[in-house]
Amino acid sequence: MDRKSVRSDKARRMRAYRARMAAMGMPQRISGPPLADNWRERFLAEYEVHGTLYKAARRAGIDPKTVTRHRDVEPEFDQACKDAFQLAADRYEEDLADQARETGNPVGYIVRLKAMRPAEYIEKQAMLNVSLKAELDPVDASALLRAMMGSMTGATRAAFEQIEAEDRQHALPPAPE
């Protein structure tokens, strides 16, 4: 099970436990040292500015694990964190446009936006893998290999020459006459 699955499973079990405790009239408490009443607001304000969990938590005077624990059991706080993160990403996008106009060099923000919004900023490519079974007679196979080797780059040719020098059994047989 990956870390995210373990974390969400743990959060689900914790919510169920807390619901049972609340149904029995037990007080709900998250472990750890007492926190200031306004720690969530301080954290969210920093998170909206910086967009990074650790920096925002440290600047708000709390441990990042506190944020994670509370997000796991408080859906409203989790949504507020998601909203603050998106506001930070929006600000980066606005700054990107401003910086591009002023300096012509948006590289730093593009890197950050790739991390924040990969679906929009990561380069995409499509790959197709095909597997087939083809039977060639030895003459046609040799002609095909020679044609492929004729279009090799210098680097590929050097790699083949090195293999051939190290182990003669990798060399191709001579072409039939």
8 A C-beta contact, residue 63 and residue 57:
yes
Q: Are 79 and 47 in contact (CB under 8 A)?
A: no
pTM above 0.75, yes or no: no
Residue 146: predicted pLDDT: 83
Residues of the chain with pLDDT under 70: 1-4, 6, 21-22, 24-32, 125-126, 128, 167-175, 177
Q: Which pLDDT score, from 0 to 100, does residue 27 have?
A: 47
DSSP 168: G
> How many Cβ atoms sit within 10 Å of the Cβ of residue 89?
17
What span, in angstroms and rounded, lies between the C-alpha atoms of 33 and 97? 43
Q: What digits encode the pLDDT tens for the residues 73-110? A: 999 999 999 999 999 998 988 887 788 778 878 887 78
Q: 């030895």: which residue's tokens?
A: 138
